[in-house]
Amino acid sequence: MGYELPLKRLIARLDIKGQNVIKGIQFEGLRVIGAPQQLAKKYYDEGADELLLIDSVASLYQRDNILNIVEETAEEIFIPLTVGGGIRTLSDAKKLLLSGADKVAINSAAVMRPELLNEIAQIFGSQCVVLSVEAKQNGSNWEVYTNNGREPSGINVLEWVSRARTLGVGEVLITSVDRDGTKKGLDNELMKKVREVTDLPLIGCGGIGANEGVLSSFEQCQLEGIAMASALHSKKVELIELRTFLKSSGVPVRNIG
């Protein structure tokens, strides 16, 4: 299968609670992995194309303690930084972007008030606005969940994503709640369905567990990027080896070194 530019992106995801990176399975059973600044630097040094920082409890408790982490991380890494969690207003987005974030990822607040996405895009540009979608399968469809995979919204994922461009969004991040942390591979069926309803850059997340699975998802789903958390934390996937494997398989990825 042939590929064309742009390059595919390998993204390291850090889910943050307080001052720690945490991870669980299907957003449950969370355990501490380490300090976000240290892990961000580690994955940057190993060749991540981007970093995704998600404050996993900010929406629940209306907390805003990720700004310092973003500032410190932005001083140490020089790749795009996307930050999500607890962004409820234009002011919240502005603080993060001024602190060093390149993009903001919005889920719960966008479901509650979709106009927020356009408000941010009008000031900072669509390239800064990522629609973050937590998708959980419900029969033959997928439903949008909010508050870090805890609350069903009643909204159909495909119908929601199909509105993304008109809402000012520049990129879509789809996380499979069902696959999250399982290392069983991305939900390719979901990703392919989402690709059918939008031409925006699409990032797949949830379930990465092997180099072969990443290759399969890039080949089948027309993704622009794949975000990984558990696979990296557990060393099930090593970024340097993954990049070499994908390049040898014909996937256009950034050259390192």
Give the span between the Cα atoms of 112 and 89, in whole angstroms: 11
**Residue in the block written with tokens 């070194």:** 257
From the list 15, 55, 171, 180, the catalytic residue is 15
Give the span between the Cα atoms of 87 and 95, in whole angstroms: 10
Q: Choose among 119, 113, 150, 121: nearest CA to 134.
A: 150
Give the span between the Cα atoms of 21 and 223, in whole angstroms: 26
At 20 the pLDDT is 82
Give catalytic status of residue 134 as yes or no.
yes
Separation of first and last alpha carbons in the chain: 27
Which pLDDT tens digits describe the chain residue by residue (257 residues)? Answer: 444 568 999 999 999 988 888 866 655 556 778 889 999 999 999 999 999 999 886 544 445 568 889 999 999 999 999 999 889 999 999 999 999 999 999 999 999 999 999 999 999 999 999 999 999 999 999 999 998 788 999 999 999 999 999 999 999 999 999 998 888 999 999 999 999 999 999 999 999 999 999 999 999 999 999 999 999 998 999 999 999 999 999 999 999 86
DSSP conformation class of 10: E
Residues in CB range of 126: below 8 A, 6 or more apart: 168, 169, 170
Q: Choose among 221, 217, 199, 200: nearest CA to 208.
A: 217
From the list 49, 50, 55, 134, the catalytic residue is 134
Ordered by where they begin, the domains of the chain are 9-248 (3.20.20.70)
E-state strands within 42-198: 50-55, 81-84, 103-106, 129-138, 141-146, 151-156, 171-176
At 153 the pLDDT is 96
Q: Choose among 132, 133, 110: nearest CA to 120.
A: 110
Phi and psi for 55 in degrees, rounded to 5?
-80, 105
Q: Choose among 248, 65, 59: nearest CA to 145.
A: 59
Give catalytic status of residue 219 as yes or no.
no
At 3 the pLDDT is 40
Q: Choose among 43, 124, 37, 50: nearest CA to 87.
A: 124
Q: What is the dihedral of CA 105, 36, 97, 68, to 10 degrees?
A: 130
**Residue in the block written with tokens 């009643």:** 154
